[in-house]
């Protein structure tokens, strides 16, 4: 016989049947069920296969501590692997599948692994595939097969079709858990006027009270919980059901995930709560016992048996044996016996209180003292159990179809552990109790080691009052009850002989033998053992195995358990979906997008946009069926021969204002700016502290106390933050304000022989002659009645200007310039042409400013002032940065005119094209003006060593090599006649 649904009882709504399926078979449960209770009620025992040995597994708990019943919920893109059947709320239409088995759950070929169990002992991978004498390729080869053979469920690779939400919120008190302690803590604090949030993982309030048959404080459990829930609502307490607190962080920050019900607008909601005070009332978890076959379907924690019978009206079997070493299992045995289940209770202790004996007798429980389980009997499920005395004698076999176990309780203090609080071992209770937190965090109820519901409620009231007083509320002082509550002391760990495979960690298939072997091999510290055996990993994070494993280590080392130490629990306490963490920040919202004020005008013109950092920039403007290569060459020709316009709004722009503005620029640029006349611009380079080039750009002097600094697009944020840091930390005495004005101004570059004529037509009040507006001059004027600023500067080597107008007028400026350009045979040009034009001219750009190059490497050493200090000025003189054989900027042209070469190619001597070579190609382009390809590169020794010589541009990825000649990087108009025209 297997589990079955009782005809009455339970907190389920029998009027609301819920259809669901498991492995394609249609089943039904009721509203209020979990998937586990519905499966048990439908007679299922086998629901999963184990991690390593593919052993048959059933349901071993009724909550988050479940280590065996992992299933996949849903299908297709919505499939969620490794879901706990014990926490999955049953909803109509739920679809569940077993996982990690083939071809079926019942007949799983992977079970063949059990034949090789002796091979797969602790440290198998390390011993077999790694270490001295093993080829490094060995593990890489076998890893694929091992990962297929072992593991858990498989996630869908399809995009997640669901939405996820996130919420930031604040409160005075966060109460975690809604058992008697949590409910009372919230109620007392709420009634004292605190702003309280109560988070409960379950879909019902009540915690362990829901599993009680005896009631609490003289009331029936349901009635007590309902009364408290009404009080909470009256006090305005925010109650979050289906919400798991997965992490506690600094300053009272808690991370929580709320699982929303089907039909809600999102699947899950991530909560970030900032609480002034926290009460952890997360209960305690029962520990399994280690005996042979303690993982067979039908073996289960005793408290889970009680939960199923009382809350879900499911008897887990018709004939049950429960093994215990403490008082708590008596309630489970009595509750099962009362509903007609034949129940035998094995207690490892030889003496218990008369009251417990009497209670068992009245309920009809067959109580056997001094008896322990030695081995569960059965293949795909429990059929019986071999028992004996603690002194290894008198074996006997009992028939049963379910086997309960209770090895004591572990207060749930993972969240407290995340805050660095060390637990304290209590020998009397055989449990770790919470240590004292230095933050306003208090454990209450079973989480503090209290075993009776009344004590839990009392500790909750005390914790709520404590929080209220701490936050200025008015609440009477209440005493915290002392931990404990059993009539007879627990008989800790040692249960005598073990027959067969006894699992310590069911989820990771780690046996008692594995732990003992690891200890014998020296891996006898908790953290080492975890990594050597995988104990405590995966979804359950050692919830049921940690204390038992510590006890085995202590036994193996001949030490007391507190001497062994513990592992530190880290977030998340329970698995959190990536979707919940990502929230709305996915797809097009993964990162914010920046758009130029001219964006719509550019796209309307057919620009192909390119993501550059957060910006969308025009890459090229195809005409007809042009591809990027055809388009950019055409755009280059137009710039060289007529006029082109380019959106440069994305360049970083910083207003530098104040009496010390010039002094600031003198300090951050290698060259001088204090002496720059008003109405002039200057190209500047700034270094990092270590002497490496950081960024470049022009700065314009607009007035006595005002400069307009431009940076590269990519360097804008970095430069702004850097200057702010300098002003805040090194030079607070400077009277200078820096403000990003990147968003204030829209800008366009106008370049080409017709640039002057075009601007003269568009900007009527600015004198454009060479004398009135010389190279590097800055002028202010008007465009359409709004102020604009113009500088005559060139990145392309042509006669060129940059024009800026307030951003809201950017589109109007673009249209005016474009019309003017077209009238003069010109057009817009994009990023590709912009980059190619500067390569032809030999200007350095992003590929050359790669965070490794110095001023001298780039041929800009002469810019550095010798009359003033500047950032990086000292460290740039380090001998390593002054070496003659450093990679230095050179120009490259193919020896054979028609040949091409790629950026990123390695520059090598002819006949020696292996290794790291002598340098690399940074930028290349086809040059329509020169009729061949040109490139820039950084070559060891630079022009001094290589000018006029040939090297090889090796492209090993594409298996290509090109002979190139090293030349000056100024390919076009080295005298500057064009830009001074």
Partner 1 sequence: MLERASPLAKGASRTVLSLRSCGRMVQYHAWPDTYTEMAGLVARTCGVAADPAPGKAAHGAAGSLLRIHPQRLWLLSERMEAVEAALEARVGVSLDLSHARSIIRVAEEIAEPLLSRFIAIDLRPHRFAVDDVAITPLHRVSVVLWRRPNGIDILVPRSFARSTWDLLAEIAERRG
The binder of partner 1 chosen from 627, 743, 850, 950 (CB under 8 A)? 743
Q: Which of residues 929-948 bind partner 1 (CB under 8 A)?
A: none
The binder of partner 1 chosen from 394, 565, 659, 767 (CB under 8 A)? 659
To partner 1, the closest distance from the beta carbon of 699 in angstroms equals: 16
780 binds partner 1 (CB under 8 A): no
Which DSSP state fits 649? T
243 binds partner 1 (CB under 8 A): no
Which residue is associated with the tokens 């204390």? Answer: 547
To partner 1, the closest distance from the beta carbon of 276 in angstroms equals: 11
By rule CB under 8 A, what string of x and - marks binding of each residue 153-172 to partner 1? ----------x-xxxxxx--
Strand partners, 950: 965
- How many residues are listed for the chain in this entry? 981
193 binds partner 1 (CB under 8 A): no
Q: Which C-beta is closer to partner 1: that of 687 or that of 716?
A: 716
Sign of CA dihedral 904, 905, 908, 912: positive
Q: Which of residues 256-275 bind partner 1 (CB under 8 A)?
A: 265-266, 272, 274
To partner 1, the closest distance from the beta carbon of 762 in angstroms equals: 13
Tokens representing residue 763 in the block: 């900007």
Which DSSP state fits 674? T
By rule CB under 8 A, what string of x and - marks binding of each residue 495-514 to partner 1? --------------------
DSSP-assigned letters across all residues of 170-228: EEEEEEE--SHHHHHHHHHHHHTT--EEEE-SSSSS-GGGGG-SS-BTTB-HHHHHHHH
Q: Which C-beta is closer to partner 1: that of 528 or that of 581?
A: 581
How far is 408 from 548, CA to CA, in rounded Å? Answer: 10
319-324 vs 342-347, strand pairing mode: parallel
Q: Which C-beta is closer to partner 1: that of 807 or that of 906?
A: 807
To partner 1, the closest distance from the beta carbon of 611 in angstroms equals: 12
To partner 1, the closest distance from the beta carbon of 595 in angstroms equals: 6
Which DSSP state fits 109? G
By rule CB under 8 A, what string of x and - marks binding of each residue 609-648 to partner 1? ------x---------------------------------
Q: Which C-beta is closer to partner 1: that of 494 or that of 593?
A: 593
741 binds partner 1 (CB under 8 A): yes
605 binds partner 1 (CB under 8 A): no
Q: Which C-beta is closer to partner 1: that of 112 or that of 578?
A: 578
To partner 1, the closest distance from the beta carbon of 564 in angstroms equals: 40
> Are the beta carbons of 153 and 72 closer than 8 angstroms?
yes
The binder of partner 1 chosen from 311, 594, 841, 978 (CB under 8 A)? 594
SS3 652: strand
655 binds partner 1 (CB under 8 A): yes
To partner 1, the closest distance from the beta carbon of 198 in angstroms equals: 18
Tokens representing residue 719 in the block: 């430069």
Count of alpha carbons within 13 angstroms of residue 686, beta-carbon side = 27
596 binds partner 1 (CB under 8 A): yes
SS3 485: coil
Q: Which C-beta is closer to partner 1: that of 585 or that of 950?
A: 585
Which DSSP state fits 909? B
604 binds partner 1 (CB under 8 A): no
Q: How many residues at the interface with partner 1, by CB under 8 A?
A: 52
To partner 1, the closest distance from the beta carbon of 193 in angstroms equals: 13
Q: Which of residues 564-583 bind partner 1 (CB under 8 A)?
A: 583
To partner 1, the closest distance from the beta carbon of 16 in angstroms equals: 27
811 binds partner 1 (CB under 8 A): yes
Q: Calculate the CA 907 to chain-centre distance.
A: 40
Biggest CA–CA distance in the chain, Å, is 114
Tokens representing residue 269 in the block: 């909601």
The binder of partner 1 chosen from 447, 807, 893, 964 (CB under 8 A)? 807
> Distances from the Cα of 537 to the Cαs of 145, 242, 840, in angstroms?
20, 24, 58
Pick from 887, 889, 875: nearest CA to 916: 887
Q: Which C-beta is closer to partner 1: that of 741 or that of 943?
A: 741
Q: Which C-beta is closer to partner 1: that of 61 or that of 596?
A: 596
How far is 317 from 321, CA to CA, in rounded Å? Answer: 10
292 binds partner 1 (CB under 8 A): no
Q: Which C-beta is closer to partner 1: that of 163 or that of 368?
A: 163
The binder of partner 1 chosen from 140, 362, 786, 910 (CB under 8 A)? 786
812 binds partner 1 (CB under 8 A): yes
To partner 1, the closest distance from the beta carbon of 761 in angstroms equals: 17
Pick from 940, 938, 943: nearest CA to 918: 940
How far is 711 from 544, CA to CA, in rounded Å? Answer: 58
711 binds partner 1 (CB under 8 A): no
Q: Which C-beta is closer to partner 1: that of 641 or that of 724?
A: 724
Long-range CB pairs of 736-739 (<8 Å, 24+ gap) are 736/656, 736/657, 736/658, 736/659, 736/660, 736/661, 736/663, 736/664, 737/655, 737/656, 737/657, 737/658, 738/654, 738/655, 738/656, 738/657, 738/664, 739/654, 739/655, 739/657
Piece of the chain touching partner 1 by CB under 8 A; list 326-334, 335-343, 485-493, 731-739: 731-739
Piece of the chain touching partner 1 by CB under 8 A; list 319-327, 402-410, 740-748, 892-900: 740-748
To partner 1, the closest distance from the beta carbon of 599 in angstroms equals: 8
Piece of the chain touching partner 1 by CB under 8 A; list 470-478, 495-503, 803-811, 904-912: 803-811
Q: Which residues of 459-495 are buried (b: 16+ CB within 10 A; e: fewer)?
A: bbbbbbbbbbebbebebeebebbebbbbeebbbbbeb
Phi (first) and psi of residue 474, to 5 degrees: -110, 110
The binder of partner 1 chosen from 555, 690, 706, 724 (CB under 8 A)? 706
Side-by-side strand order, sheet with 396-399: 371-377, 384-389, 396-399
808 binds partner 1 (CB under 8 A): yes
How far is 195 from 233, CA to CA, in rounded Å? Answer: 12
Task: Assess whether the previous peptide bond of 572 is cis (omega < 30° from 0).
Answer: yes
The binder of partner 1 chosen from 135, 353, 593, 900 (CB under 8 A)? 593
806 binds partner 1 (CB under 8 A): yes
Angle between helix axes 810-823 and 755-762 (nearest 10 degrees) is: 130
The binder of partner 1 chosen from 657, 671, 710, 711 (CB under 8 A)? 657
Q: Which C-beta is closer to partner 1: that of 490 or that of 576?
A: 576
Q: Which of residues 56-85 bind partner 1 (CB under 8 A)?
A: none
Piece of the chain touching partner 1 by CB under 8 A; list 81-89, 470-478, 526-534, 596-604: 596-604
Tokens representing residue 325 in the block: 């070493």
Q: Which residues of 274-305 are buried (b: 16+ CB within 10 A; e: fewer)?
A: ebbbbbbbbbbbbbbbbbbbbbbbbbbbbbbb
Q: Which C-beta is closer to partner 1: that of 364 or that of 806?
A: 806
Q: Which C-beta is closer to partner 1: that of 169 or that of 318?
A: 169
689 binds partner 1 (CB under 8 A): no
> Are the beta carbons of 760 and 799 closer than 8 angstroms?
no
The binder of partner 1 chosen from 409, 569, 707, 745 (CB under 8 A)? 745
745-751 vs 164-176, strand pairing mode: unpaired
Residues in touch with partner 1 (CB under 8 A): 163, 165-170, 265-266, 272, 274, 583-585, 588-589, 591-597, 600, 615, 655, 657-659, 704-706, 732, 735, 737, 739, 741-745, 783-786, 806-812
């Amino acid at each position: 016989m297997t589990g079955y649904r009782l005809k009455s009882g339970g907190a389920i709504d029998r009027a609301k049947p819920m259809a669901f399926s498991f492995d394609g078979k249609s089943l039904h449960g009721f509203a209020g069920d979990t998937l586990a209770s519905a499966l048990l009620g439908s007679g299922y025992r086998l629901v999963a296969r184990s991690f390593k040995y593919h052993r048959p597994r059933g349901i071993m708990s009724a909550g988050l501590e479940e280590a065996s019943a992992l299933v996949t919920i849903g299908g297709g893109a919505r499939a969620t692997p490794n879901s706990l059947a014990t926490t999955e709320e049953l909803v109509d239409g739920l679809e569940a599948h077993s996982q990690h088995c083939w071809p079926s759950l019942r007949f799983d070929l992977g079970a063949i692994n059990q034949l090789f169990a002796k091979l797969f002992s602790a440290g198998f991978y390390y011993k077999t595939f790694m270490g001295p004498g093993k080829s490094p390729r060995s593990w890489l080869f076998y890893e694929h097969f091992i990962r297929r053979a072992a593991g858990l469920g498989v996630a869908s690779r399809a995009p997640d079709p669901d939405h996820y939400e996130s919420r930031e919120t604040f409160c005075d008190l966060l109460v975690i858990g809604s058992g008697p302690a949590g409910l009372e803590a919230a109620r007392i604090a709420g009634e004292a006027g605190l702003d309280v949030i109560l988070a409960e993982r379950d879909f019902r309030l009540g915690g362990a009270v829901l599993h009680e048959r005896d009631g609490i404080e003289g009331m029936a459990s349901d009635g007590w919980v309902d009364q408290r829930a009404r009080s909470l609502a009256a006090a305005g307490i925010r109650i979050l059901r289906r919400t798991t607190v997965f992490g506690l962080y600094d300053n009272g920050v808690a991370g929580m995930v709320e699982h929303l019900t089907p039909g809600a607008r999102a699947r899950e909601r991530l909560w970030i709560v900032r609480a002034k005070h926290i009460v952890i009332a997360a209960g305690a978890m029962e520990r399994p016992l280690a005996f042979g076959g303690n993982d067979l379907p039908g073996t289960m924690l005793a408290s889970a048996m009680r939960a199923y019978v009382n809350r879900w009206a499911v008897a887990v079997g018709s004939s049950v044996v429960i093994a215990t070493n403490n008082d708590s299992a008596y309630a489970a045995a009595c509750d099962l016996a009362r509903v007609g289940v034949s129940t035998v209770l094995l207690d490892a202790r030889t003496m218990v209180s008369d009251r417990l004996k009497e209670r068992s007798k009245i309920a009809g429980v067959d109580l056997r003292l001094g008896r322990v389980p030695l081995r569960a009997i059965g293949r795909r499920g429990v059929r019986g159990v071999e028992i004996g005395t603690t002194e290894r004698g008198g074996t006997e076999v009992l028939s049963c179809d379910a086997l309960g176990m209770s090895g004591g309780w572990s207060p749930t203090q993972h969240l407290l552990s995340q805050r660095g609080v060390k637990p304290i071992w209590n020998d009397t209770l055989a449990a770790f109790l919470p240590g004292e937190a230095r933050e306003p965090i208090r454990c209450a109820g079973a989480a503090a080691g209290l075993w009776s519901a009344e004590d839990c409620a009392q500790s909750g009231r005390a914790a709520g009052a404590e929080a209220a007083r701490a936050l200025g509320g008015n609440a009477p002082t209440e005493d915290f009850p002392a931990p404990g509550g059993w009539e007879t002391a627990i008989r800790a760990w040692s249960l005598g002989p073990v027959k067969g495979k006894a699992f310590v960690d069911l989820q990771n298939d780690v046996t008692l033998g594995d732990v003992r072997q690891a200890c014998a091999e020296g891996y006898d510290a908790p953290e080492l053992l975890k990594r050597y055996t995988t104990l405590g990993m995966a979804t359950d994070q050692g919830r049921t195995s940690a204390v038992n494993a510590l006890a085995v280590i202590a036994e193996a080392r001949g030490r007391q358990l507190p001497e062994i130490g513990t592992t530190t629990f880290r977030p998340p306490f329970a698995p959190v979906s990536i979707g919940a963490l990502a929230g709305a920040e996915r797809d097009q919202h993964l990162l914010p997008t920046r758009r130029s004020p001219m964006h719509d005008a550019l796209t309307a013109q057919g620009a192909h946009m390119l993501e550059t950092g957060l910006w969308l920039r025009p890459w090229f403007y195809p005409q007809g069926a042009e591809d990027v290569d055809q388009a950019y060459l055409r755009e280059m020709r137009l710039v060289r021969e007529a006029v082109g316009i380019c959106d440069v709004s994305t360049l970083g722009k910083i207003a530098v204002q104040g009496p010390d503005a010039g002094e600031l620029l003198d300090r951050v640029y290698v060259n001088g700016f204090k002496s720059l006349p008003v109405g002039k611009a200057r190209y500047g380079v700034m270094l990092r502290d270590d002497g490496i080039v950081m960024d470049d750009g022009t700065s314009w002097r607009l007035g006595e106390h005002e400069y307009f600094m431009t940076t590269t697009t990519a360097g804008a944020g970095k430069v702004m933050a850097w200057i702010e840091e300098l002003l805040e930390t090194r030079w607070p005495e400077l009277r200078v304000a820096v403000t990003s004005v990147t968003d204030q101004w829209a800008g366009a570059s106008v370049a080409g022989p017709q640039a002057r004529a075009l601007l003269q037509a568009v900007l009527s009040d600015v004198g454009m002659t060479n004398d009135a507006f010389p190279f590097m001059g800055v002028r202010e004027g008007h465009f359409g009645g709004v102020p604009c600023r113009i500088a005559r500067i060139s990145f392309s080597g042509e006669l060129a200007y940059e024009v800026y107008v307030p951003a809201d007028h950017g589109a109007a400026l673009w249209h005016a310039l474009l019309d003017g350009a077209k009238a003069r045979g010109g057009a817009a040009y994009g990023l590709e042409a912009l980059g190619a034009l500067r390569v032809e001219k030999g200007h350095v750009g992003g590929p050359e400013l790669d965070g490794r190059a110095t001023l001298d490497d780039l041929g800009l050493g002469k810019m550095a002032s010798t009359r003033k200090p500047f950032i990086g000025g000292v460290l740039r003189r380090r001998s390593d940065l002054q070496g003659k054989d450093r990679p230095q900027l050179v120009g490259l042209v193919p020896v054979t005119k028609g040949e091409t070469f790629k950026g990123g190619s390695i520059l090598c001597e002819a006949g020696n094209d292996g290794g790291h070579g002598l340098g690399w190609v940074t930028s290349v382009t086809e040059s329509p003006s020169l009729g061949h390809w040109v490139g820039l590169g950084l070559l060891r020794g630079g022009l001094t060593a290589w000018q006029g010589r040939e090297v090889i541009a090796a492209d090993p990825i594409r298996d290509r090599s090109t002979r190139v000649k090293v030349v000056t990087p100024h390919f076009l108009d080295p005298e500057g006649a064009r830009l001074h025209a």
